[in-house]
């Protein structure tokens, strides 16, 4: 099947409808079961509340501008700001309608290629974007833990079976963090030191019967590393400073959305604890089987952050959070996708 047809399948009406339906059902449940409408009617609406709402919206704008600036840096400014907007919105759209474990990376390569970026550079942009995102995470986690410790990071007790072992919330977090560190190490070595060696190692490792089913995927990863290495071998320090700074601002703004949403209804005395809880939530959402973490994200928000929210308003805030940070990408992506496809396929 041609690549364009595969991408069209990702953006099918069914794939778009599933996360919307799941999200709306969960939102309705949260508003019905987790919202005390008497408490809602007692809220004294004032300018301060609308100020924090605007700041929360501004954080999402900063997040998207950060990603747009980064993709211009990674493509050596081959993309205009308008093209960068289209790419980021469609990339986020693809991520919102696919399970978190799948993501929108393969779609992003297709989109970049259609915007005039050659396949090698498109591969490099997507791989280094993932690398910078994960690098931000592995740097931020120990810094936040140094500030707040781990005693209050895991208020929700979850269990998950991984390779026959039942893991708690804390263990899931540490396993997820360890996997991210391993992935970063692999990309660092594969891209900057010995890409061909990594490809050969992956081929041998995944030739064993137990791992053979994933061999095609990891061989492609090895090939992508070689392409990425060729694209990045001449980049200077300023290139990396700009790319990581954009990543830092984008992710920081993304996480602070929650803090400002909570400030709409109450004062917050533990901003970094809320931030740290979100770092844990992010790993939980990463293994979500639902598109864009729909359903899982809402319950994680209620479980991890409800102690910071006035009684009876958790359902309302979780829905507001998703309508600010998730649904806009569904609607914007669905709006610009048909026009973008007609223009690029015409």
* Of residues 144, 182, 164, the one with CA closest to residue 281: 144
Q: Which is it for strands 165-167 and 160-162: parallel, antiparallel or unpaired?
A: antiparallel
Residue 224: the pLDDT is 80
Residue 14: the pLDDT is 75
Cβ contacts of 313 within 8 Å, gap of 6 or more: 35, 36, 39, 40, 265
- Rounded to 10°, the helix 237-263/119-148 angle is 50
- Could you tell me where the DSSP H helices lie in the chain? 3-10, 13-33, 37-41, 47-74, 81-96, 105-114, 119-148, 169-192, 195-205, 215-232, 237-263, 271-286, 296-305, 314-325, 327-345
Residue 112, CA distances (Å) to 107, 218, 277 in order: 9, 22, 34
Q: What is the DSSP string of 129-170?
A: HHHHHHHHHHHHHHHHHHHH-STTS--S---EEETTEEE-HH
Ramachandran bin of 327, using left for φ above 0, alpha for ψ from -120 to 50, beta for the remaining angles: alpha
Q: Report how far residue 225's alpha carbon sits from residue 218's, in angstroms, rounded to the nearest whole number.
A: 10
SS3 322: helix
Residue 296: the pLDDT is 81
> Based on the structure, what is the number of domains in the chain?
1
Dihedral angle, C-alpha 257, 261, 263, 269, nearest 10 °: -60
Residue 135, CA distances (Å) to 146, 257, 283, 293 in order: 17, 21, 14, 22
SS3 291: strand
Q: Report how far residue 225's alpha carbon sits from residue 212's, in angstroms, rounded to the nearest whole number.
A: 20
Residue 1: the pLDDT is 43
User: Is pTM beyond 0.75 here?
Assistant: yes
Cβ contacts of 11 within 8 Å, gap of 6 or more: 93, 94, 97, 337
Task: Compute how many other C-beta atoms are within 10 angstroms of the C-beta atom of residue 297.
Answer: 24
Q: Which domain holds residue 316?
A: 3-345
Residue 73: the pLDDT is 95
Q: Report how far residue 173's alpha carbon sits from residue 180's, in angstroms, rounded to the nearest whole number.
A: 11
Residue 162: the pLDDT is 61
Average pLDDT by stretches of 10, the chain with 346 residues: 56 77 85 83 85 96 97 94 94 83 72 86 87 94 90 77 69 88 86 82 74 73 80 85 96 95 89 92 78 79 87 88 91 86 70
């Amino acid at each position: 099947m041609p690549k364009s047809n595969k991408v069209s399948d990702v953006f099918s009406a069914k794939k778009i409808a599933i996360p919307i339906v799941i999200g709306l059902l969960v939102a309705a449940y949260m508003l019905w079961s987790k919202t005390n409408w008497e408490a809602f009617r007692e809220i004294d609406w004032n300018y301060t509340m609308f100020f924090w709402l605007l700041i929360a919206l501004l954080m999402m704008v900063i997040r998207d501008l950060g990603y747009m600036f980064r993709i211009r840096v990674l493509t050596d400014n081959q993309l205009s700001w308008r093209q960068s907007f289209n790419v980021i919105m469609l990339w986020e759209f693809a991520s919102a309608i696919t399970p978190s474990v799948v993501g929108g990376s393969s779609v992003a390569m297709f989109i970049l290629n259609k915007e005039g970026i050659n396949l090698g550079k498109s591969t490099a942009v997507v791989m280094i974007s993932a690398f910078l995102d994960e690098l931000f995470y592995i740097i931020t986690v120990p810094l936040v833990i140094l500030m707040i410790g781990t005693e209050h990071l895991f208020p929700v007790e979850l269990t998950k079976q991984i390779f026959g072992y039942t893991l708690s919330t804390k263990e899931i977090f540490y396993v997820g963090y360890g996997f991210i560190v391993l992935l970063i190490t692999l990309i660092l070595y594969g891209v900057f030191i010995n890409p061909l060696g990594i490809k050969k190692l992956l081929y041998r490792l995944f030739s064993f019967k137990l791992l053979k089913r994933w061999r095609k995927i990891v061989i492609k990863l090895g090939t992508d590393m070689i392409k990425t290495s060729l694209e990045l071998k001449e980049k200077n320090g300023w290139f990396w400073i700009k790319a990581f700074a954009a990543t830092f601002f984008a992710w920081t703004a993304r996480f602070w959305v929650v803090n400002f949403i909570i400030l709409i209804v109450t004062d917050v005395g533990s901003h970094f604890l809320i931030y740290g809880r979100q770092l844990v939530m992010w790993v939980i959402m990463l293994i979500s089987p639902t598109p864009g973490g729909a359903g899982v994200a809402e319950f994680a928000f209620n479980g991890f952050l409800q102690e910071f929210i006035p009684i009876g308003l958790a359902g309302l805030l979780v829905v507001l959070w998703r309508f600010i940070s998730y649904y806009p990408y569904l609607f914007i992506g669905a709006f610009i996708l048909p026009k973008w496809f007609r223009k690029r396929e015409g």
